[in-house]
Every structure is written in structure tokens, then in C-alpha cells.
Amino acid sequence: MSATEAPPAPPEKPDVRKPSARRRLVPYWLLLPGILWLLVFFALPMVYQASTSVQTGSLEKGFEVTWHFRTYWDALAEYYPQFVRSLLYAGTATLLCLLLGYPLAYLIAFKAGRWRNLVLVLVVAPFFTSFLIRTLAWKTILADGGAVVDVMNTLHVLDVTAWLGWTESNRVLATPMAVVCGLTYNFLPFMILPLYTSLDRIDGRLHEAARDLYATPATTFRKVTLPLSMPGVVSGTLLTFIPASGDYVNAELLGSTDTKMVGSVIQTQFLRVLDYPTAAALSFILMAVVLLVVTVYIRRSGTEDLV
């Protein structure tokens, strides 16, 4: 063979600075299903409900948009006890979740060692059974004459809780306490998981640095661990408080007519009374109240500049 020609020049690399039109559109194509989903199942129903809330009429004659904003005022005037109760129960349950969940999350993050994954699975384990079944189980646990009530009776704890108005003289079921217990139990994992994530991210060497700088273990917790876990505290309380304030299952199954929460009212208005405008108006009021509470809370907790 004669002298071979120089090998052909390698094909030019595609210019990375100018992606093709197709490439530029890829992110939007990937976003499209999610956007469509939100549009159809979130935005449209919201608009629909908003319109329902200002309609008047009846089931027989049909509903019509009449911009009847009085429905909001009437709903609030009639059902404000349920609103107050909802916020109170949800707030109490959130606080209890925090008090129960923080030590547990701390334990998992710093002390569990090789048991960590097992304990985490145990935290999530209740989700393997239906929400309804778990709540119904509490009916048995707190039943009149059951072990819990007996022990509380014997220790005279029941007298104290009854005096505080949390329970009735000799029963726990169908009292505020039962509803708060149910809420606390059902939302506890939503508190523990963000707390754990937040605590787990704290560099253990910061604890050593604090101890080295004359901080006792208690001070180390107060001045280093707790401030650094605030993002977890905030997201945990939000994940607990927001769904708990709209919950109606716990109030329905474990409570009585005196412990109705606003969620039950909305459910009744929608499905039994069939007063759609009032139900829609109540939903929007609840949303506004929760948004307000959450905004104030986030502002106050000042977690924006925590990295």
C-alpha cells in the first residue's frame, strides 16, 4: 500500500454553549406532567370551590353565582367554636408531638448507632396499616373500663384531667383528650422524620467544640443543638399542625358532638346537609387561618438564615 492519507479529522464536538432548541425544551417537557396534574387536580378545583362559595340556591333549584359573600360571615359566626377548637386541638397535638418526637429523633440521630435504620423503620411502621384502622384501634385502647382508663382512675390522673375539662368524670373516649391523643399519634411520624433529618445533619464536631469551650452538656444542647435543629422543628410542626387542623377522622371516631372540629363540619355540610356554598366558604376560611398562623410562625421563628 502506498502512503496512507492522514486519518480524517475527528468530528467536531457539538457546541455545548448553544444547546439545540430541543435540548432547551427538555426541562419543560419533563415539568409538563406535574404542571398538568396540579392544574387539573389543584388549581381548577380551587377555582371551582371559590366560585361555589359565592353561590346561592338549593339542590333542587340549582346553584347560581350571586357573589353572596355573606356566606363567609354567616359560616364563621355559626361555626367559630369549631374553628377555635380545631386550632386548639391541632396546636396541642403539635406541641405533644414535638415533646414526644424530639427526644426520639435525637436518640435516633446521635445514640442509636447500628439500630438507627431499624428504629427509623419502626417510626414509619404504622403507615403499613390504614389510617382508619389505627384510629379505630384507639377506640379500644381508650374504651370505658379499659386498662388505660383504669390506671388513670387508680392514679387519680382522671380526676385532674376531668377538672381541667380534658376528660369526663370516668371516661376518656369521646372527650377532647381522646381526640388530641389520636391526632398526636397519627401525626407523630411527620414530626419525627424532619426532626431526625435536621439533627442528623449537625456536625458532631460542633458538640465537641462546644464542650471544649466550657459548655456543659445541657448548655451545648440549648446553644448549639437546638438552634441548629430549628429547621426541623419548623418543618415538623408545620407538617403536623396543618393537616391536624383540617382533620376530621380523629374527631369523628374518638370524639363526641362537643369535640367537633371544623373538618367534621365541612364534611357534614358537603356530604349530609348538601349546603355546598357554606362548606366551600368554611374551607377557604380554614385555609386562610392556617396560612396566617403559619406565616406568623415562620416569621417569628426566624429560620430563614439557617443554612
Partner 1 sequence: MTQQQTEGGDVRLTGISKTYGSFTAVHPLDLTVPQGSFFALLGASGCGKTTTLRIIAGLEDTTTGTVSLGGRDITDLPPYKRPVNTVFQSYALFPHLDVSENIAFGLRRRGIRSVGKQVGEMLDLVQLGDFARRKPHQLSGGQQQRVAVARALINHPQVLLLDEPLGALDLKLRRQMQLELKRIQTEVGITFVHVTHDQEEAMTMADTVAVMNGGRVEQLGAPAELYENPRTTFVANFLGTSNLIEGRIVSTGTDVVVAAGGGKLRLPGGRCPSSAESGGKVLVGVRPEKISLTHTDDAAAIPDGRNRVAGRITDSSFIGVSTQYVVESPAGTALQVYEQNIERDGRLVPGAEVVLHWNPEHTFGLDAAQHIHAGAEALEEAA
Position 222 contacts partner 1 (CB under 8 A)? no
Site string for partner 1, 189-208 (x = CB under 8 A): --------------x-xx-x
Is residue 63 helix, strand or coil?
A: strand
Q: How far is the CB of 300 from partner 1 (least distance, A)?
A: 17
Is residue 171 helix, strand or coil?
A: strand
Q: How far is the CB of 5 from partner 1 (least distance, A)?
A: 40
Question: Which of residues 38 and 209 has its CB atom nearest to partner 1 in the complex?
Answer: 209
Q: Which of 43, 227, 274, 292 binds partner 1 (CB under 8 A)?
A: 227
Site string for partner 1, 149-188 (x = CB under 8 A): ----------------------------------------
Is residue 180 helix, strand or coil?
A: helix
Q: Which of 5, 12, 212, 304 binds partner 1 (CB under 8 A)?
A: 212
Question: Which of residues 155 and 213 has its CB atom nearest to partner 1 in the complex?
Answer: 213
Residues 6+ apart with CB under 8 A from 266: 248, 279, 282, 283, 286
d(CA 248, CA 265): 8
Give 120-127 contacts, CB < 8 A, sequence gap 24+.
Answer: 120/196, 123/188, 123/189, 123/192, 123/193, 124/189, 124/193, 126/189, 127/189
Residues 6+ apart with CB under 8 A from 252: 264, 267
Position 209 contacts partner 1 (CB under 8 A)? yes
d(CA 153, CA 66): 56
CB contact at 8 A, 175 and 167: yes
Q: Which of 214, 257, 271, 304 binds partner 1 (CB under 8 A)?
A: 214
Q: Which of 224, 251, 280, 285 binds partner 1 (CB under 8 A)?
A: 224
Question: Which of residues 210 and 239 has its CB atom nearest to partner 1 in the complex?
Answer: 210
Position 110 contacts partner 1 (CB under 8 A)? no
Position 213 contacts partner 1 (CB under 8 A)? yes
CB contact at 8 A, 234 and 303: yes
Question: Which of residues 81 and 217 has its CB atom nearest to partner 1 in the complex?
Answer: 217
Binding site for partner 1 (CB under 8 A): 203, 205-206, 208-216, 219, 223-224, 227-228, 305-307
